[in-house]
DNA sequence: CGATTTTGACCCGCGC
DNA sequence: GCGCGGGTCAAAATCG
């Protein structure tokens, strides 16, 4: 199961709504038409969910249309993410004391209880007022509860440089630096979840400036990603008529070929688009943040 | 013997 | 100013 955790953290949620999981990049020049998009996305979920009455040829056309829609939605999402994160950061900066005092290192990351907003906010404020963002990614992995090694197999080489017991969690937190490239700025913090000791929470800070040393860097099938904040949940485990099979299917299949075929299939894409649309419109945090961003853009009367 | 891990000390920002 | 807590340093211990 691959899901982007959301929602329950933070009060409002600007932030990296990275919905590009398993999607092809948006095609250039395929700019979205927001209003029309929303209308079309609001339509009842037919397609792969409902009975299929169309011919094969119609199905192909529909698949092409949906694929185009998918790239549009992806691009739209990316733009909104940038806009919202930037505007939220601007508001926070305006509210802060003007003395430009250095922020706490603590705020560079969400706490385990998870204030994702702080992460985005501090990232956007970094670098002397420029909007360069520090990428924060949280990855949760199911482990054997008896396993005490605090290791997450992500394909990179890490050097442990510290371990601490934090107040909000009885299990220790381990600190790692990327050991593959000396100049790589990426850090990783690993700690068991306070709620579920079988869940290992790894927080990555920064981005690797080198390729992954192995393809084993792909995430385990029972992994959830919380990309520095917000709040969209993609339930890819949903089954149904012609519907999405979860990425757990990879565990049942020898090799990734079949999984890749499934991801590339029109049915998967259709389901993904519809799931994204439902998630976006259902999530009040997203709509609030979007509304705030739009209001900011409007001239004051 | 070099690389890696462990662990106590230290640093620094924040709240009171 | 002081104490607290998270993050980092670095010497010692351990491993291959």
Residue nearest to nucleotide C4 (CA to C1'): A167
A208-244 per-position pLDDT tens digit: 777 766 544 444 444 455 444 333 333 333 333 333 3
Confidence of residue A296 (pLDDT cuts 50, 70, 90): low
Residue A113 to residues A16, A56, A118, A263: CA-CA distances in angstroms? 18, 49, 12, 33
Averaged pLDDT for residues A240-267 = 41
Look at residue A215 in the predicted model and tell me its pLDDT. 47
Residue A6: what pLDDT? 34
Over residues A246-261, mean pLDDT: 40
Residue range A43-71: average pLDDT?
52
Pick the most confident of A26-35, A222-231, A292-301. Answer: A292-301
**pLDDT at site A142:** 78
Distance A179 CA to C11 C1' (A): 20
Q: Nearest residue to B3 (CA, C1')?
A: A159
Query: Quick one: tokens of A20?
Result: 């590009």
pLDDT in tens, A266-276: 555 555 555 55
Q: What does the alpha-carbon distance between residue A16 and residue A36 come to, in Å, rounded to a whole number? A: 24
> What pLDDT does A265 receive?
55
What gap in Å lies between CA A117 and CA A110, rounded to an integer?
A: 7
Query: Cα dihedral angle (A20, A25, A31, A34), rounded to 10 degrees?
Result: -10
- Report residue A297's pLDDT band, with 50, 70 and 90 as the boundaries: low
pLDDT in tens, A141-162: 777 767 667 777 677 888 898 9
Average pLDDT across chain A, whole number? 53
Output the pLDDT for position A8: 35
Distance in angstroms, CA of A160 to C1' of B6? 10
**Whole-angstrom distance between the N-terminal and C-terminal Cα of chain A?**
48
Report the DSSP pairing between strands A172-178 and A136-142: unpaired
Q: Which residue is nearest to nucleotide B13 (CA to C1')?
A: A104
* Structural contact between residues A141 and A202, judged by C-beta atoms closer than 8 angstroms: yes
| Residue (of A226, A175, A194, A221) closest to A7 by Cα position | A226
Instruction: Please report how many Cα atoms fall inside a 13 Å half-sphere around the Cα of residue A132, on the Cβ side.
Output: 6
* A232 and A21 Cβ atoms separated by less than 8 Å: no
Between A281 and A252, where is the model more confident? A281
Residue A81 pLDDT level (bands cut at 50, 70, 90): low
Domain ranges in chain A? 48-93, 108-205, 222-295
Q: A234 or A289: which carries more pLDDT confidence?
A: A289
Asked if CATH classification 2.20.25.80 holds for the domain at A108-205, the reply, yes or no, is: yes
Q: What is the CA A42 to C1' C3 distance in angstroms? A: 55
pLDDT, tens digit, 9 for 90 and up, residues A88-115: 444 444 444 333 333 333 333 333 333 3
pLDDT at A167: 83
């Amino acid at each position: 199961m691959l899901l982007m955790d959301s929602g329950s953290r933070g009060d409002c949620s600007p932030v990296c709504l990275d919905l590009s999981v398993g999607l092809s990049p948006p095609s250039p020049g395929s700019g979205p038409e927001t209003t029309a998009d929303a209308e079309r996305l609001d339509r009842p979920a037919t397609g792969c969910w409902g009975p299929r009455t169309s011919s094969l040829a119609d199905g192909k056309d529909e698949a092409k249309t949906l694929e185009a829609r998918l790239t549009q939605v992806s691009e739209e999402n990316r733009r909104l993410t940038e806009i919202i994160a930037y505007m939220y950061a601007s508001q926070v900066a305006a509210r802060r004391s003007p003395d430009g005092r250095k922020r706490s290192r603590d705020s560079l990351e969400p706490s385990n209880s998870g204030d994702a907003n702080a992460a985005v906010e501090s990232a956007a404020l970094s670098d002397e007022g420029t909007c360069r963002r520090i990428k924060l990614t949280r990855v949760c992995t199911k482990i054997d509860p008896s396993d005490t090694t605090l290791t997450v197999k992500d394909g990179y080489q890490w050097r442990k440089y510290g371990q601490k017991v934090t107040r909000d969690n009885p299990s220790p937190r381990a600190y790692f630096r990327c050991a593959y490239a000396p100049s790589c700025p990426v850090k990783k913090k690993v700690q068991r979840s306070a709620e579920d000791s079988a869940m290992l929470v790894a927080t990555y800070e920064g981005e690797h400036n080198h390729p992954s040393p192995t393809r084993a860097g792909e995430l385990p099938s029972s992994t959830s990603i919380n990309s520095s904040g917000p709040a969209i949940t993609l339930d890819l485990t949903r089954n149904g008529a012609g519907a999405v099979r979860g990425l757990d299917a990879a565990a049942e299949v020898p090799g990734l070929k079949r999984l890749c075929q499934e991801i590339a299939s029109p049915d998967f894409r259709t389901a993904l688009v519809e799931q994204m649309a439902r998630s976006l419109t259902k999530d009040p945090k997203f709509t609030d943040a979007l509304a705030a961003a739009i209001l900011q853009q409007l001239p004051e009367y």
